[in-house]
Amino acid sequence: MQKNKENNLFEKIVKKDYKNELEEVLEDKYFGENAKSLLLEILYKIETAYKDYEYIKKDSKTREAYIENFIEIIKNQCKTIKIVKPNSEESKILDNKTFNVNKKRGEIICLPIARKLLYAIYKIEKKDIIVNKKYSLLSTTISNMINVGSNINMVEPLRDFNGWSWTSVSREYESIEYNLIYQNLLILVGEKLLSDWTKNRDTIIDYLEELGDSLANIYGLELAKKIIYIINKLSIIMELKVNPDIKDKIEKLKIKTEKELANFDNKQEYIKKLTAKKNKLANKIMKIDSTISDKKLLQEEYVKRNAKLPLEEKIFSMRVLAEIMIEEREKLFKEMQKTNELLKPKAFLEKKELLQNDYKTIKLTEIEDVEEELQNYLIQLQEVFLECFKIKIKKAQDKSEIIKLIYQYRYYCLLPYSLSNNIFEVGKLQNALQETGKNIIRKAIKAKLIIPFAQNEEINYEIVKNVFHVRIIKLEDLSIKIIKEKEGYFIQFFDDKAFDQKCKLNVDSLDKKILNIKINKKVKFFE
| CA pair distance 260, 37, nearest whole angstrom | 56
Task: Inform me whether the pLDDT recorded for 11 exceeds 60.
Answer: no
Q: Evaluate the CA torsion angle 26, 31, 37, 41 in order and state its sign.
A: negative
Domains of the chain, by residue range, sit at 13-242, 259-361, 381-524
Give the chain's count of helices (H) and strands (E).
19, 7
In percent, how much of the chain has pLDDT > 70? 95
| pLDDT score at 311 | 80
Among 232-241, 245-254, 342-351, the minimum mean pLDDT is found in: 342-351
Average pLDDT rounded to a whole number, residues 377-400: 96
| CA pair distance 42, 162, nearest whole angstrom | 11
| pLDDT score at 4 | 53
| pLDDT score at 314 | 84
| CA pair distance 178, 199, nearest whole angstrom | 18
Cβ–Cβ contacts within 10 Å for residue 14, how many? 7
Task: Inform me whether the pLDDT recorded for 293 exceeds 70.
Answer: yes
| pLDDT score at 1 | 46
Q: Are 142 and 121 in contact (CB under 8 A)?
A: no
Q: Are 232 and 360 in contact (CB under 8 A)?
A: no
Identify which has the larger pLDDT, 212 or 200: 212
Amino acid at 403: I
Secondary structure of 61-98 in the HEC alphabet?
A: CCHHHHHHHHHHHHHHHCCEEEECCCCCCHHHHHCCCC
pLDDT digits 0-9 by tens, 239-281 = 989 988 887 777 777 777 777 777 776 677 778 888 888 899 8
| pLDDT score at 458 | 92
DSSP per-residue codes, 310-355: -GGG----HHHHHHHHHHHHHHHHHHHHHHHHHTSHHHHHHHHHHH
229 burial level (CB within 10 Å; 0-12, 13-18, 19+): middle
- 381: CB partners within 8 A, 6+ apart: 181, 184, 227, 230, 231, 234
- 94: CB partners within 8 A, 6+ apart: 84, 100, 109, 111
Task: Inform me whether the pLDDT recorded for 201 exceeds 80.
Answer: no
Average pLDDT rounded to a whole number, residues 144-153: 97
Amino acid at 345: P
Task: Inform me whether the pLDDT recorded for 10 exceeds 50.
Answer: no
Task: State in Å, rounded, how far the first CA of the chain is from the last one.
Answer: 29
Identify which has the larger pLDDT, 25 or 321: 25
| pLDDT score at 51 | 95
Range among 109-118, 292-301, 454-463, 491-500 with highest mean pLDDT value: 109-118
pLDDT band with cut points at 50, 70 and 90 for residue 317: confident
Range among 217-226, 469-478, 494-503 with highest mean pLDDT value: 217-226
Average pLDDT rounded to a whole number, residues 293-309: 87
